[in-house]
Structure 1
Amino acid sequence: MTFTLIAINIVAFFLEQHDPNLFIGLFALWPPSPAVAAVAADEPIFHVWQLLSYSALHANPTHLLFNMFGLYVFGREVEHTIGYVRVAALYVASVVSGALVQIAVSLASTHSYPTIGASAGVFGLLVSYAMLFPHRRVVLLFPPIPMPAWVFATGYALFELFLGASGEEVDVAHFAHIGGMLGAIALMVYWSRSRRHSWLD
């Protein structure tokens, strides 16, 4: 499933290059407008499928590369432990919860811009990895500092919260990242409380 998700993102990225404006307008996550009737016919608006489709679009090859690297590193380990069906469920839950949190923040602020990228799903897999392997060492790329997975995930979450609250990077969906982590945590906790999922006992 991890490689399937990577393939979907890569294919979607190349399709996006044929007509970026069309794909962004239809499939990026646009905040719902309180006055839809007043929106011009050619102006992008929110559609329910954008809660999922936004994750398959990326701004550039670097954006895609970093997300696919994270998806590969954390996704394959989580999938090996809990199976491909649950990894798919985790990814979708993270993407959708990230979208919902991002929409809520957008509606509460003065900024309104489209959200794209698989980061919410990747952050969901990151926190799932940390919950499954809390003491396994993870090494930062820049700088290369090894640390326990739970420290890495917690530090990243706090960093994203700080950046989102500061409002300095309005073009980065920091709250979608946090929402993705929250969605994954909720699903992992739900599974851990079910006796059918002995892999978390």
Structure 2
Amino acid sequence: MLFTLLILAVTSIVSFVAFSNRSLIDDLILWPPAIERKKQYWRLITYGLIHADFSHLLFNMITLFFFGRVMEPRINESLGEFGFVLFYVGGLIISILPTYLKNRHNSTYRSLGASGAVSAVLFAFILYAPWARIYVYFLPVPAIIYAVLYVGYSVYMDHQGRGNINHSAHLWGAAYGVVFTVVVNPGVLSTFLEQLSQPGM
């Protein structure tokens, strides 16, 4: 889980520095016109290094820690030493692309946080262990049930278009995590379906 810890450490350090450094936020945040007009493509990745506040950072990093440490060796086994890093960076890019394309001419839109990539890690894990317990506010919930509720809530909130949370990134990140995992390890799909039929596993 070396790279999981490295991603966690770098994200935490940059986020903490950015909490009191507005210019750093401005340089890293996803601001579509900066990509559209100035070709600052790095923002499609660096937005995931900064967070709105400590609770936003903490939730993402705790989730990354618990599920990244399980998924890193699985992904690296299939793709090599840097497989998990490529998967995570891909999650940052793919999860935010629809948001960027939708808002590429919107000078008032901004987005930040690693939630899309973290969703990719979480949903990749759910394919391997759909009945594992995920603790939501200290309450144990089967992973597959959490996935259904998570997707349903994100779809609803995305359609509502209220609040400051990018629910679209959550959904696209989750979809990316599932598709990536199935492409890299096609056998996981049959194992997932078999486990679904055996809730006691």
Q: What is aligned with 1:141?
A: 137
Paired position in structure 2 for 1:130: 126
Deviation at 1:193, TM superposition (A): 3.4
Equivalent-residue separation in structure 2 for 1:159 and 1:166 (angstroms)? 10
> In the alignment, is the contact (CA less than 8 A) between 1:74 and 1:129 conserved in 2?
yes
Tell me which residue corresponds to 2:195.
none
3-state SS, counterpart of residue 59 of structure 1 = coil
Change (3 A) 1:111 1:131: farther
CA contact (8 A) 2:60 2:115 kept: yes
Q: Give the unaligned 5+ runs of structure 1.
A: 37-44
Q: Stretches of 4+ moved more than 4 A in 1?
A: 33-36
What does residue 150 of structure 2 align with?
A: 156
Contact kept in structure 1, 2:131 and 2:143, CA below 8 Å: yes
1:86: how far off? 2.8
Give the 3 Å change call, closer, same or farther, for CA 165–122 of structure 1 in structure 2. Answer: same
Match of 1:5 in 2: 7
- What SS is found at the alignment partner of 1:69? helix
The separation in 1 between residues aligned to 2:178 and 2:46, in whole angstroms, is 22
The answer on whether the counterparts of 2:36 and 2:104 sit within 8 Å (CA) in structure 1 is: no
Cα gap change, 1:49 to 1:111, in 2 (>3 Å): closer
Q: TM-score, normalised by structure 2?
A: 0.80
1:46 & 1:61 partners in 2: Cα distance? 30
Partner of 1:31: 32
2:113 is matched with 117
State the Cα deviation string for residues 78-106 of structure 1 (Å, max 9, x = none): 12433363322221111101110221333
Kept in 2: contact 1:27–1:53 (CA 8 A): yes
In structure 2, what is the Cα distance between the partners aligned to 1:135 and 1:181? Answer: 17
2:54: which partner in 1?
Answer: 61
Relative to structure 2, which stretch is displaced further, 50-59 or 181-190? Answer: 181-190
Q: Is the 8 A contact 1:29 1:46 kept in 2?
A: no
Q: Between the two proteins, what is the percent identity of the paired residues?
A: 26
Give the superposed CA RMSD. 2.6
Query: How far did 1:32 drift?
Result: 3.3
Find the aligned partners of 2:55 and 2:39 in 1 and give their Cα distance.
26
CA distance in 1, matches of 2:74, 2:36: 46
Q: Which residue of 2 is the match for residue 166 of structure 1?
A: 160
**Pair 1:95 & 2:92 matched:** yes
Q: Which runs of 5+ in 2 are unaligned?
A: 193-201
CA distances 1:130-170 after superposition (whole Å, capped 9, x unpaired): 0111121222116x1x332122123212211111111121x
Distance 1:140 1:46, change over 3 A: farther
More displaced 10-residue stretch of structure 1: 72-81 or 57-66: 72-81
Aligned mates of 1:173, 1:76 — CA distance in 2: 25
How many pairs does the alignment contain? 183
Indicate whether 1:52 and 2:48 are aligned: no
Judged with a 3 Å threshold, the aligned counterparts in structure 2 of structure 1 residues 4 and 34 are, in CA distance, closer, same or farther, namely closer
Q: 2:158–2:168: 8 Å Cα contact kept in structure 1?
A: yes
